[in-house]
Structure 1
C-alpha cells in the first residue's frame, strides 16, 4: 500500500516531532488535537521542529518549505482521518483512552487503513482488543525526541498481519528512520527491555554503596555508552569472542540484582516524593543541576552523531 496521507493524533511531547518527520519525507500530515487551540499549537511546534532540523543541516531549505505546507491541524477527528492511509496515535499513556480511540478509528476508517500506536509501555494487543480489524493494528514506538532519534520499534500483536508490519517498516525507512520489527508483544518492547535491565543494575549499585549516582553515570557515558552508536551489544560479543564473554557472564551474572521489581532505593525515593526533575530531587539535586542545558547537550550530541553516520555509514 502506498502511504500518501497520515493522521497523527496528539499534540503533546511526541505528536509534533512525528508529524515533522513524516511531512519532511513528502507526506501530507493532519495533526489532530483535542481542542482547536491545541491543534494550532501542535502545528506551530511541528514547524519549530523542522526549523531546528534545518538549522542543524538535517534537512534542506526546499524540504523545509515543502514540509511546512504539508502539515495542517484540526480538532475534528472524523475530518482529520478522512482519506488517510495511516493513523498514528500519540495520546497519553492510558489504556482505556487508547482502547476507546482505536475502537472509534476502527469504525470510521476503511479496513485497509493502518492504525498504529506510539505507546512506549502498553500492549498493542490490549489497545486493539475492541477493534474488528486487528490485523491492521501495530505499535510504532518513536523514541524521544522523535525528530532526532532514528529508532522506531514496530511491534506486532498476535493478530497483526505481515503486510501491515512490512508496510510500516518500508514507510519508516522512507521517512529516514531506523525501524526494527518486534514480533512478540511483550512489556518493554525491545530497547526498553535492555534499558530497564540497565536501570535496575545502576540503581542497585547506588543502593549497595558500590558507587555514587554520579560515578555510575560517568562510567556509562564515558565507557560502554560512548561506543554504542556504532558498536552494538551483540557486535561487541562477537568482536571480543563468545568464549571470553561466556566466562565473564558466568562470573558476573550471579552477583547482579535479579529481583523481579524495582530496587529498594528506587521505590523509596518515589515514596518520599523525590521524583527527579519534576520535584527538584531524585538521584540528583536539580536545584544545582540544569536539565535544560543537559537536554541541549543530549540533542547536540545526537545531531553530531547523525552527521557522522551520514558521512561514514553505508546506505
Structure 2
C-alpha cells in the first residue's frame, strides 16, 4: 500500500481523551507541522459502539475539540490513538480505527507501556502501524519515542521521525520494541524501587523522597513524581505488567557490557574514559612574575 506524505499540508487526527489529548488540543502540537489537526475527544466506551467515526467536516486547520463521528478517512494522513492504558479499550478502539482508516493512513498508538507487536494484532495493515509516544507535558519534552514492530514499513518510521523533527522534538527510534520505551522503563525502575522500600517498611515516602532529592539534587522524589503522574495511572501500569513477556537481562549479560571497558582501563571520569570520553581541562599557565 502507498504511504501518506505527512507533509506540511497533511492532516492528523487524535483519538482519545487522556493527558496527551488535552495537551494537543490546548496547544495544537501536531498543527505546528501539519495543515490540520483535529482532536476527537471520544469516551472509549461510547466510541467503540459506533461503527463509523464521526470526524469533523472542516479542513480549515482549526482544532475541533467537539469532534463528532463521519467518514473522513481520505483526508487523514495520521491517526494517533490516545485512549486509556487498558488492553480491552485499546483493542476495540484500534480495530475500529483500522476499519475506518485503511492505508495509506498511518495508524499509531501513544501507549506508554504496551509494545507495538501486542497492539498490532488488533489492526489489519500492520505495515502502517507503529507507536508514536509523546511525553507529558508535550511542549516541554524534547524527545518522542518511535517504536516500530517487525512488520512496520521502514518508510513509516522515516515519515514519523520527520514529523517529530518538524514539531521541534527529537525522535528516539528504538532498535527493538520494549515495554515503556526508554525513559518510562528507567523511571519505572526508580518508582518500583521506592514502592518496594515502602512495602518493606524501610522508610516513609517522605524519607525516601528526601534521600533521592538530597543525593541527586533533583527537586522532586519518586513519590512526588508518582503524585504528578497520577496514582490511578501508576496502579494501571502495575496491573499492565502481566501483559509483558520481557525477560530481564542476567547479571552475566550486564557484565558483558561493563567488563570490556574495565579490562581496557576505561573506568569512567577518573581515567578520562568510560562509556564516554572525558578530556580534563588544560591547566592554567603559570602566572608570570
Per the shorter chain, which TM-score range?
0.5 to 0.7
1:22 is aligned, of 11, 15, 30, to 30
Residue by residue over 1:273-307, the C-alpha shift from the partner in whole angstroms, topping out at 9 and shown as x without a partner, is xxxxxxxxxxxxxxxxxxxxxxxxxxxxxxxxxxx
Mean alpha-carbon deviation: is it higher for 204-213 or for 145-154?
204-213
Question: Which protein shows a greater Rg?
Answer: 2
Asked whether the equivalents of residues 99 and 128 of structure 1 are also in contact (C-alpha less than 8 Å), the reply is: no
Is contact 1:123–1:187 with CA below 8 Å preserved after alignment? yes
Find 2:80's aligned residue among 80, 85, 88: 88
For the residues of structure 2 that align with 1:78 and 1:72, how far apart are their CA atoms? 14
Q: Which runs of 4+ in 1 moved over 6 A?
A: 242-245
Once residues 209 and 29 of structure 1 are traced to their aligned partners in structure 2, the CA distance between those partners, rounded to angstroms, is 49
Shift of 1:120: 0.8
Count how many residue pairs are aligned between Structure 1 and Structure 2.
Answer: 207
- Residue 144 in 1 paired to residue 136 in 2? yes
CA drift at 1:111 = 1.3
Cα distance, 1:141 vs structure 2? 1.4
Equivalent pair of 2:164/2:170 in contact (CA under 8 Å) = yes
TM-score by length of 1: 0.56
Larger proportion of helix: 1
Deviations 1:250-281 (A, max 9, x none): xxxxxxxxxxxxxxxxxxxxxxxxxxxxxxxx
Q: How has the CA–CA distance of structure 1 residues 18 and 179 changed in structure 2, closer, same or farther, with 3 Å as cutoff?
A: farther
Report the alpha carbon displacement of residue 74 of structure 1 after superposing the two structures with TM. Answer: 4.4
Are the aligned partners of 2:130 and 2:149 in contact in 1 as well (CA < 8 Å)? yes
Per the normalisation by structure 2, the TM-score is 0.61
The answer as to 2:177 corresponding to 1:185 is yes
Counterpart CA distance in 1 for 2:270 and 2:108 is 39
CA 1:205/1:174 → structure 2, altered by over 3 Å: closer, same or farther?
same
RMSD of the alignment, in Å? 3.3
Kindly tell me: are residues 212 and 115 of structure 1, through their superposed partners in 2, closer, same or farther at Cα, counting changes over 3 Å?
A: same
2:163 pairs with 171, 174, 186, which one? Answer: 171
Partner of residue 2, structure 1: 6
* Superposition deviation, residue 172 in structure 1: 0.9
Match of 2:104 among 104, 112, 117: 112
Task: Classify 1:69/1:197 alpha carbon distance in 2 versus 1 (closer, same or farther; 3 Å).
Answer: same
Cα distance change, pair 103–119 in 1 and its aligned pair in 2 (3 A): same
Alignment of 1:1-315 (within 5 A): 1-3=5-7, 4-19=10-25, 20-34=28-42, 70-79=62-71, 81-207=73-199, 211-224=203-216, 226=218, 239=269
SS in structure 2 at match of 1:128: helix
The CA deviation at 1:25 is: 3.8
Partner Cα distance (1:29, 1:143) in 2: 19
Q: Secondary structure of the equivalent of 1:115? A: strand
Gaps spanning 5+ residues in structure 2: where? Answer: 48-59, 220-266, 276-289
Q: Give the aligned partner of residue 250 of structure 1.
A: none
Find the aligned partners of 1:81 and 1:17 in 2 and give their Cα distance: 24
Alpha-carbon distance between aligned partners in 1 of 2:179 and 2:31, rounded to the nearest angstrom: 30
Where in structure 1 are there 5+ consecutive unaligned residues? Answer: 40-67, 228-236, 246-315
Label 1:123 to 1:213 Cα distance change in 2 as closer, same or farther (>3 A).
Answer: same
